[in-house]
Homo-oligomer: A and B are copies of this chain.
Amino acid sequence: MRAVPEQEQTAASLTLEDIAKLAGVSRSTVSRVVNEQPNVRNDVRQRVLDVIQTTGYQPNAAARALASQRSWTLGMILPHSVSFFFTDPYYPHLTKGIAQACNQHDYTLAFFLVGSKEDEEKIFPRVSRRGLLDGVLVQSGHHGDQEIISHLLDANIPLVVVGRPFRYDNVSYIDIDNVNASFNAVGHLMRLGYQRIGTITGPPNSTVGIDRKKGYLKALTERGREIDEALIVEGDFTETGGYYAMQKLLSSKPDAVFAASDIMAIGAMRAVRDAGLAIPDDIAFVGFDDLPIATFSDAKLTTMRQSVVEFGEKSVELLIDLIENGSQTPHHIILDTELVIRDTCGAKKRN
């Protein structure tokens, strides 16, 4: 059933043994050179390298994986809950960060986008199949993802959750300090003198949604402000969600709004303009994420920056660390955020 080998002995179908013969050394020596191991004489190493160079030899990934019990492939799972993969550009960006980090570390990224809850069942055995993945990244932080996480935990496969999961004591994850970041974002608005600061939150079944709201509340209460429930409206991390949330908020007459994501801030600002109000003069804004879209609009968005690139990098590095050093105690990494002051908060006008 194997395809008939045509004319060619293509470069890529050469084996270690072939290279060894061409370089006049043994398979083992070539293997050492390929894997940059010591104990090869310099001239020999160079000779082998030359042969590899001219032939364009590439080691066979499957053979290497079988022999070394390492596939050099990481899995990334997007659970069904991450259907805003399509509505919040944050996810594509994060995905890019992860993909790039994998490249840099010479890992291949396998992508498991779970379309439906049933798909999760189907994907699970695939992910836990030996010889395919060295470790798994799960983009999560949603309440519905507990099951898949504990599945993965049971399978004893190195695992990093990207975003804090609901139960996290026994799993490694990476996140930013959402509470504190939001606290600072709202604090910034308070320092600028705004009196009626509203917020558009994320959904309450996500840790991100919960934490950012918590930071908002904390900022107000710690400085003795009263919480006005009418100033808190739930969004869903979509632009449209932000738009409608803002429409509701408008009746409570806020003078500033902290939106839990840039994309919601953009939707909300559109609602403000549609209502004939000006930003930041009538209503000031602070967003969250600092995606490129934050600067696309006329009014550049003041926002809490989290470096998605760094987020991706660190997730991958944590996972690789887990794979290579296999510690059993879960690691929790919290990345920094930084307030980026642009136009929409009104800070510049007040200087």
Contacts and interface: CB of A to CB of B under 8 A. Distances in A.
Interface stretch (A121-129, A163-171, A204-212): A121-129
Nearest to A127: B108
B12 A60 contact: no
A106 B126 CA distance: 9
Given A10-B156, A62-B71, A109-B110, A240 B99 contact: no
A interface bracket (residues with beta carbon within 8 Å of B): 35 or more
Contact of A86 (B12, B62, B86, B96): B96
A131 B65 CA distance: 9
A99 B114 CA distance: 8
A194 interface: no
Interface in A115-141: 115, 119, 122-123, 125-126, 128-132
B119 A73 contact: no
A54 interface: no
A13 interface: yes
A183 B109 CA distance: 40
A273 B240 CA distance: 16
A66 interface: yes
A238 B291 CA distance: 14
A92 interface: yes
B132 A103 contact: no
A326 B110 CA distance: 24
Nearest to A295: B240
A276 to B, nearest CB: 11
A61 B62 CA distance: 8
Contacts of A122: 103
Contact of A111 (B71, B99, B115): B99
Contact of A108 (B60, B63, B106, B110): B110
Contacts of A238: 296
B126 A108 contact: yes
A275 interface: no
A297 interface: yes
Interface in A93-114: 93, 95-96, 99-100, 103, 106, 108-113
A293 B132 CA distance: 36
A350 interface: no
A286 to B, nearest CB: 21
A106 B122 CA distance: 9
A297 B129 contact: no
A64 B76 CA distance: 22
A58 B128 contact: yes
16 contacts: A2-B69, A59-B129, A60-B131, A62-B66, A62-B71, A63-B66, A86-B89, A99-B115, A100-B115, A103-B115, A110-B110, A110-B111, A238-B296, A240-B293, A270-B270, A273-B274
The 4 closest A-B pairs by CB, nearest first: A62-B131, A62-B65, A99-B113, A61-B132
Interface of A: 2-3, 8, 10, 12-13, 58-66, 69, 71, 73, 76, 85-87, 89, 91-93, 95-96, 99-100, 103, 106, 108-113, 115, 119, 122-123, 125-126, 128-132, 155-156, 238-240, 270, 273-274, 291-293, 296-297, 326
